Amino acid sequence: MSLGGNMAMKYAGEERVLAPEIKAVIGVSVPCDLHSSLKELMSTKNYLYSKRFKKHLVEKLYPKQKIFPDNISLSDISSIRTLKDFDDIYTSRAHGFKNALDYYEKCSCRQFLPNIKIPSLIINAKNDSFLGEECYPYNEAEKNPNLYLRVPEFGGHVGFIAPSNIYYSEKTAIKFIQGMV
């Protein structure tokens, strides 16, 4: 789900031979464009969430700093004010990118969606406040017969609450898989 969905779609669309065990890919609330999603996360409507999320991420850096003091300093950690700062200071460096923007550009799955060759489903709700317009790959889904995009009106970010504890995302994923059998 979410960032994991982005990673799965990117993996499926990269120019590589997929393991034969991988028959399909399903992503829920997929930030297909990481920079677009970051802008939404940092918008006023998501201020409290992004502040809490950043705090949680930064707290996880202190134990890492003790183990790898040459890779990240306490002053680096204390300079993190936003989620983008976190990606500039930690995420990008830890994974060999120049900076956060380089990471967002190279790791966003949207650019890889045209290359997907196995059945792949993205479920992104219209009211997902964490996804920007670029996270809804309508054109890619229209042009790639292996890419299915479902955009229900409601569902929020990984919500999709429905009556009787049957979630829209789960029901849709099951139907998708059953249609492949």
Q: Positive or negative CA dihedral for 170, 172, 177, 181? A: positive
| pLDDT score of 127 more than 90 | yes
What pTM value is reported for the model? 0.92
For residue 165, the model assigns a pLDDT of 77
Percent of the chain surpassing pLDDT 90: 87
| pLDDT score of 149 more than 90 | yes
For residue 104, the model assigns a pLDDT of 98
Residue pLDDT, tens place only, 65-86: 999 999 999 999 999 999 999 9
For residue 105, the model assigns a pLDDT of 98
Q: Positive or negative CA dihedral for 61, 65, 68, 69? A: positive
DSSP 126: T
Q: Which are the catalytic amino acids?
A: 2, 128, 157
For residue 38, the model assigns a pLDDT of 97
Average pLDDT over residues 10-27: 94
Position 94 confidence tier, pLDDT thresholds 50, 70, 90: very high
For residue 56, the model assigns a pLDDT of 97
Cβ pair 108, 14 in contact under 8 A: no
For residue 156, the model assigns a pLDDT of 86
Q: What are phi and psi of 83, to 5 degrees?
A: -65, -35
- Quickly list DSSP for 106-123: HH-GGGGGGG--S-EEEE
Residue pLDDT, tens place only, 102-120: 999 999 999 999 999 999 9
| pLDDT score of 16 more than 80 | yes
For residue 167, the model assigns a pLDDT of 86
